[in-house]
Amino acid sequence: MPKIITTNTDIRQSDVSQVRQLFQAFSLISDPLFVVDTNLKIQFFNEALVRLMNSWELPPPGKDQHITEAIPFITDAWIGDYRKVFNSQESLIERVDTFHKDPTVYTIHKIPTIKTKNPNLVTTIIKYQSNDEKISKKIMYIEKKYESMMKALRESEDKFRKLIAQMADGVWLFDSSQKAIFINKALCQMLRFSESELIGNIITDFMVATSHDKFNKVLLSLDTQSTSNPTEITFLNKSGVDVETRLILSSLTNADNQVVGNFCVISDITQEKSLQELQERFIATTAHELRTPLTVLSGYIDVLQIGPDLSQEDLLAIIEKMSRNVNRLVRLVRNVHDLSAVRTNLFTIDRKDVNLFEFINEIKDQIAILFPTRNIFWDTNVTSDSNLSFNMDSERIKQTVENLTQNSVKNSPKDSPINIRILSKSDELSIVVQDQGTGISNEGMLQLFRPFAHKPTQYSQSGTGLGLYIIKVIIQAHGGTIEVVSGEENTGCIFTIKLPNCDE
């Protein structure tokens, strides 16, 4: 009498996405296969089962149809085996039985067990078998090949998951309803949500409203192409901060080439966008800052050309103003050059032992030439008799003092004093620049050392915001620190630099 050996294997998954992926793998199996839940209702079946039931002259089963309705002649013993799996947590039961009106023997084989504790799904897979010795040997060969295939499938899936998990870009797999079924660690870090907060939720819920239509258009584009063009989409992280991304979508299809979801690769381009905005601001700001002194110089050149009878006093005044604007151009070009060097990792300093007394006198002379009309008071404990030396890039530190003084001049009343102290303290050089100008707001403090962060004041409307940024780069390159103290409005600022003395 023909016999049937039945093996019932639990494939319960705590992660719904993994069950769905396993069902997709089941679709590729050529043997009849079906899955029932604890109520013995069919949750999945493949095309091979449909063909088998057609040979029995039975209609294909329906989802959520009870197993006894789908296969009316199924035995009570088989039903008992299912109950036993669910109740006793057994993962494998073999039974000899016979299908109605079918002389062929079947064997129901075990498939890869994912989890056997408290099962809520059981899978049955059926394979033809024969009493003929040659055919039996062939069947055994096929079974071994099948087991190898499933092992390779599991290993391939493990490698795929590890690869996705290690990707620097975010990965978001979602089903046809746009609900997440798989995400990787990079995406969690990018959006600052945990995996449990993302899985099962709709992808557009994590985007800004203005990106919804753009994203839906990308989805529609997959009707005519398998992979979308890169598209910029703005997400919101858990803190509500915009995350600028570049997104590429690909369709996920089943064995019948039906779209069941989408594979989404998300690259964080927030820094790239920030650099792009910085570049645009740099071009606009620099163009504006160059235009002003060049216009002034051009105007005075015209005056000199059409007014040869100018008095000596007028000529000196014009030359002084032209010199001031030339110096402004020199500082701007120097700052732009330094910014470029920093951005390309080419910024360097040239440290040498410098006589402090001579160094301070050179700074005084330079400041006096640059700002001849301002009241600048100096305080230092370095004398000609000190014979002190300090290891530093003297030209860069002169540039620092010059920029800080220029900052104080621009942001304080013309008749107010500016105090500069350069003090030598054991192995440290302290430089302090203090003014009585507008001061800096709390908001301004946060942006203070960022490029192009200039804020117009009542004394100065122009500026690139590069000076303080370059100063910080120079001081950090020396291993030093820079601090700023600003009280209430119009109480001025105190910039303090501390440089360590290092041997060459």
The whole model's pTM is what?
A: 0.45
Whether residue 145 lies inside any domain: the answer is no
**One domain for residues 381 and 477:** yes
CATH of the domain at 413: 3.30.565.10
Tokens matching residue 113: 């067990």
pLDDT, tens digit, for every residue of 24-44? 667 766 778 888 888 889 888
**One domain for residues 320 and 406:** no
**One domain for residues 340 and 254:** no
Q: Would you state the pLDDT for residue 46?
A: 85
**One domain for residues 343 and 355:** no
Whether residue 96 lies inside any domain: the answer is yes
Tokens matching residue 402: 């010059």
Q: Would you state the pLDDT for residue 401?
A: 92
Count how many domains the chain has: 4
**C-alpha torsion 420→426→427→430, nearest 10:** -10
Whether residue 162 lies inside any domain: the answer is no
pLDDT, tens digit, for every residue of 344-399? 777 888 899 999 999 999 999 888 888 888 899 999 999 888 888 899 999 889 88
Longest dimension (CA), the chain: 129
Whether residue 140 lies inside any domain: the answer is no
| Cα–Cα separations (whole angstroms), residue 274 to 270, 280, 327, 461, 479 | 6, 10, 31, 24, 28
Strands 231-236 and 170-175: unpaired
pLDDT, tens digit, for every residue of 278-316? 666 666 666 666 776 777 788 878 878 876 677 788 888
Whether residue 161 lies inside any domain: the answer is no
**One domain for residues 252 and 321:** no
| Residue numbers of the chain with a pLDDT score lower than 50 | 1-14, 105, 107, 109-116, 130-132, 135, 139, 459, 461, 504
**One domain for residues 292 and 260:** no
- The last residue of a domain, from among 347, 364, 390: 347
CATH of the domain at 289: 1.10.287.130
Whether residue 152 lies inside any domain: the answer is no
Query: What residues make up the domain containing 448?
Result: 349-504
**One domain for residues 253 and 281:** no
- The last residue of a domain, from among 325, 347, 369: 347
- The last residue of a domain, from among 268, 295, 312: 268
Whether residue 377 lies inside any domain: the answer is yes
CATH of the domain at 113: 3.30.450.20
Strands 231-236 and 242-253: antiparallel
**One domain for residues 94 and 53:** yes
For residue 7, give the nearest of 41, 39, 31 by alpha carbon.
31
Please enumerate in sequence order all residues whose Cβ is within 8 A of that of 277, keeping only pairs 6 or more positions apart, or say none: none
**One domain for residues 289 and 231:** no
**One domain for residues 317 and 364:** no
Over its C-alpha atoms, the chain yields an Rg (Å, rounded) of 39
**One domain for residues 341 and 364:** no
**One domain for residues 378 and 429:** yes
Whether residue 160 lies inside any domain: the answer is no
Is the separation of the CB atoms in 386 and 424 below 8 Å?
yes
